[in-house]
Structures are given as structure tokens and as C-alpha cells.
Amino acid sequence: MWVPLHAVCLRSQRVCRLSVAAAVSQCFRHRDASVSHFSLLAGLSAQTCKALVYRTHGDPSRVVQLEGVALPSLGAKDVLVKVLAAPINPSDINMIQGTYAILPDLPAVGGNEGVAQVVEVGSQVKSLKAGDWVIPKDAGLGTWRTQAVLPEDDVISVPNDIPLVSAATLGVNPCTAFRMLSDFEDLNPGDSVIQNAANSGVGQAVIQIAAARGINTINVIRDRPEFTELSDKLKAIGASHVIKEEALRKHEIKELFKTCPKPKLALNGVGGKSATELLRHLQIGGSMVTYGGMSKQPVTVPVSALIFKDVKVRGFWVTQWKRDHSHDGRAFRAMLDELCSLIKQGKLTAPACTEVGLQQYHAALDAAMQPFSSTKQVLVM
């Protein structure tokens, strides 16, 4: 784990690894009260790092604090890493608020995603060496920190010659897009996919991966003053069509399908009426995959879509996919290799990002929580 000071509690499944927080609290009274009790988890280690810590759930701007945290000693199968960059994702915010499907035991360090450089390896480490770049294999690992000592098996290497921001944002959105395009329908060049939230991180990754495979994308976004500008940006990265939400019920969608086949796959990151509209345009037997719910409204499936079109309604969570494949890392490795190849070819770029120093975390958190934010905040260590 990036932060071996807490266990990730899978509350939705009633499964929880042993927490060390209680033991830490007991030890805290034996030390100077001005020292964060996180340091006691590192034994007598004198080496420290900076980390964004929260002890209670709530408003991230109020409960997250920058603190000094001691590092544990390097074990034989551990690696010492320097975190280079870590984004602020919606799931990170939800974890701090206490509303996500998995929640770390408190106190905890924020951040589920990021890229780090290996500084030192334990005597029995075989797959990594100093200088390698690594990303987490799982969520809930606490990436908002400058350094970490973690087991070799908790990370996976990525090329260190790809852009820093691409590496830092590789493990969640591109992987989500890749799996949804690969696992639900047999898509061939010339086929179509329709998606809402097309300007999101996942949406932009879908556009680019689909374009690399010769698949058409019909991209739905909310109307806004800068619609034309945003549409042009999405088309520049490979979007076949960009339309407004309200166009899904107008004549122009029928005109579009005269030149573009109806989609086999719909990707829903919004929910509510937007999801229902996507369903209306699927091919018979097509699939709608829900991976997010920005509108906070339920997905409503018309009876006619089930009876007369036999549509399939599925859900996807990349964290669960990673855990389902943790016993055999070949699928994860193959996916990362293909994504990194696209990055090197210039066919997959990170979404617009604002790089922020760790000390400016308050501003970064505030910006990340703005609705429909156009850029992703990335903490650079």
C-alpha cells in the first residue's frame, strides 16, 4: 500500500482488514503531542514525508491537512518511492466525504491514483529497480504524499518516457474507457458507440481509444456558451460527432444515423433522463454500461427497450475489475502496455490538467469540487 498506516475497509461487502488506527492512538500519548500520530506507525524511523491527511469524513477543504508522516523501514519485499504527481478525482473527494463504496480506516491519506519513482528496493524485490515509474494496482492507497514505503506487489510499472501527467492519470479513466470498449460488445472498425459526459476524463479517453480502433463515437454534452469551442476540441482528439443533450430527441439525430450506424454500445456517466435517451438509440440487443452518475438521478429503463429491443443494462467499476484480476496480472499488464503504446504514438493524451504544488492543496481541492470543472487538478510533489 502507498500508506501502510491504514487498512482499506470494504464496507459495502462487510469485509475489513485489520486496522492499526487504534494502536496508533494508544501510542500517541507517549509522544510529543505536536507530532502527528501517523509517525508512530513507522516505529523508530526518523525519515519523514509530507502527506495530506484526514481524520474525519466531511468537507475536504475543512478536514484535509498537510502533515509530516514518518516512513517505515524498508522491508526485503518493499520499495521506497518518491511520488511525482497525483490527481484529484471525484472518487477521492467522495472517499473524504465518506460517501464512496470503499472507505479507508481513519486516519487516512487522500488519493487513489498517481505516479511515483522508485528510489530504493528491498533485497528480495525482483520486478522493480531504482528509477522505475510505478502506479497503484488498487484504490484507497493514499497517493497524496511525497514518499512512501510499500510492498512490491501493490504497484505496477509504467514507462518513464511518457508525459508525467499521462502517467499520473493512467490508472482510472483510461483503464475505465479501455475496459468498457473491450468487455461488453464486440466492436469492429466502423461500428458506433454513443456516450454522455463526453468531455469528462473517461469520455475523452473513450474518444481517443475508439478512434485508434476505427470506431465511431457519438458524443453528447450539455449545451453551454462555449459549445462550439468544446466540440472542436473533442473532434480534434478523434470524436466523430458531438451533439447537445437536447438533440437526442430532435430530427438531427435521425439525420446523423443516415451516415453513421446506430450504436452497439452506450456509455453512461450521468444517469437520469440522459441515460434514458441513450438507450433509445441503441441497436437491438445493444448494451448500456453505467460507470458514473453525475446527475445523481437513477437510471430509468423503458419497458419497450427491454421487450422490443432486448437491450442489456450493465454497470462497471474499474476498481472491482482490478480486484477480480489481481490473481493474474497479465490482463492488467496487457491493458497498460496498450494504453502506453497509444500515449507514445500521440493517440492518447491526458485531459486538460492544472498542476498544483502540494502546499496549494486547499485551492486544488476547491477547484476540483466545482461542478462541471473543465480541468483536472494534479498535485505535483
**Catalytic entry in 54, 100, 291, 361:** 100
Report the distance separating Cα 241 and Cα 218, nearest Å. Answer: 5
- Is residue 249 classed as helix, strand or coil in its secondary structure? helix
- Listed in sequence order, the residues at least 6 apart from 37 whose beta carbon sits closer than 8 Å to its beta carbon are 24, 25, 27, 28, 31, 107
The alpha-helical segments, DSSP class H, found in 47-169 are 60-63, 90-97, 164-168
Strand partners, 168: none
> Whole-angstrom Cα distance, residue 221 to residue 242?
7
Q: From the CA atom positions of the chain, what is the Rg in Å?
A: 22
Q: How far apart are CA 349 and CA 346, in angstroms?
A: 7
Residue 100 bears catalytic tag: yes
Distance CA 346, CA 10 (A): 38
Cα separation of the two ends of the chain: 19
Distance (Å) of CA 70 to CA 52, 104, 120, 283: 13, 19, 17, 56
d(CA 13, CA 101): 9
Q: Output 370-374 pairs: Cβ under 8 A, ≥24 positions apart.
A: 372/222, 374/199
Q: Report the alpha-carbon distance of residue 95 to residue 53 in Å, rounded.
A: 12
Element (H, E) at 70: strand 64-70
Task: Report the catalytic residues.
Answer: 100
